[in-house]
Each structure stands twice: as structure tokens, then as C-alpha cells.
Amino acid sequence: MKLLVAVKRVVDYNVKVRVKSDGTGVAIADVKMSMNPFDEIAVEEAVRLKEKGVATEIIAVSCGDAKCQETLRTAMAIGADRGILVETTEELQPLAVAKLLKALVDKEQPSLIILGKQAIDDDANQTGQMLAALADLPQATFASKVEVAGDKVSVTREVDGGLETISLSVPAVITTDLRLNEPRYVTLPNIMKAKKKQLDVVKPEDLGVDVKPRLKTLKVSEPPKRGAGIKVADVAALVDKLKNEAKVI
């Protein structure tokens, strides 16, 4: 079984992002970038499926500028077998990424395509769903458990009321939730090994995809600053303030 995993290069989750002074976006120059945390979980799950003997090959895909090669090398250090960079300097929106991934799905014919449930930079939570629609494949989003048996995959999903388990036929699209697994640390020997793995670079034009943005960001602004807290004397004073000042109870 071949697996395709999408990995996005995003601002590291430890970085406190700052809005650019002209309000056009978030400052990313000289900021630490890393693999989107949900995508690390996706790669880890793929590697575990390979270790169980379910998967035979794992292909990591990243779309973006040349620096995404670092993200692909990290995926390969975790255990992906090869990488594909769809290289472009154009700003990529979820629909464009979904179209690029669809073109690669047509070419590579993977049995499972695993993505993160959302990228922590745009928080869109759209790419997996759009890919499933474009490729006409079943989808299981927000996976917290994945079990493959033959050509069926059983996915437990975290929903508002608890857990839902659904069964899909492969090929299928899965998006990962936080509790699916805990990604392993990449070791130095595996980082060295990853340097020798195959990494192909293609352009969106090679895949016949027009990646021009369809949405325009009008303005990005900082959240309002929080005022300082106060200490109240007792519960009665707290209840009074919540009722009469904050008016929340």
C-alpha cells in the first residue's frame, strides 16, 4: 500500500507571531519555520503503518518555495521514503494545494492520503476536504485512531459528543487530529540518511494546475490587548462583578 502525506512549512508553533505594520499579513522574515504539527502526526502515522507491514512506500509532498525541501527532509528523517516538492513562490491557498495534491494522487495512485486537519498558519481546515471532493474519494477528518484491514480503513474521529468510528474503502483521504499519536524525535543518523533519499521537484505548470489565489486578504490585525486582572475580596464580590460589570451571568 502506497501512502501520500502532505507536509506544510509553517511558522514554528513556539514563535509568537507578529502582524506586519501595514496589516497585510504576518511577519515571517527571519522567523523559525517548522513542519506543521498536524503534518508531523500524519508522517508518524504513515511510518507506523509501514512498520506494521501495512504500507510499502511513503511519499511526502510539500508545496511552496525551495525552503520546503527542509520540511521534506524532516519527513524523510521521520521515515518517509521519498519526497516531492511542488515548487512555487506564489502564495498558495487551500484550493490550489488541493488541486496540486489531486494531480499527484492521479499520478502516484496512493491508497491513503494523509494530511493534517489544519495548518497552524492559515487555520483553514480545508485542504483535505477539498482534495477528497476533487479526487472523488471518501474522507475521514479529525482522525484519532486509524486501523487498516485489507482494503478497508477504520477511522475513529473526535466529534463534539464523543467519538465516531467510520469505515472507508481505500483509496481514501484522512486528516489527523492531535491525539492520533505522538511523533517520534528525529535522530541524527536518520537526518543523515534522509539527505540521501530521493527528492523530486516539479512546478505547478508541470501538473497543469493554476495556483493563482482566488481569495484576497483585506486586513490582518492583532487581537485587542487584554487589560490587567484584578483581585476580588470574596466569592460574593466575584459574582457581583460577573453579573453587573462583565454581565456574563
Nearest-angstrom CA–CA distance, 171 and 112: 5
Residue number closest to ligand AMP, CB atom: 116
* Nearest-5° Cα angle at 191, 68 to 75: 45
CB of 135 to ligand AMP, least distance (A): 14
CB of 117 to ligand AMP, least distance (A): 7
Q: What H or E segment, with its residue span, contains residue 10? A: strand 9-11
CB of 94 to ligand AMP, least distance (A): 4
C-alpha 175 chain-centroid distance: 8
Are 62 and 73 a contacting pair, CB within 8 Å? no
Compute the half-sphere exposure of residue 123: CA atoms within 13 Å on the CB side of its CA.
1
Closest to ligand AMP by CB, 8 vs 99, is: 8
| Region of 47-55, 58-66, 149-157, 190-198 interacting with ligand AMP (CB under 6 A) | 58-66
Neighbouring residues of 225: CB distance < 8 A, sequence distance ≥ 6: none
Site string for ligand AMP, 108-147 (x = CB under 6 A): -------xx-xx--x-xxxxx-------------------
Verify binding: residue 36, ligand AMP, rule CB under 6 A: yes
Contacting positions for ligand AMP (CB under 6 A):
6-8, 36, 38-39, 61-64, 92, 94, 97, 115-116, 118-119, 122, 124-128
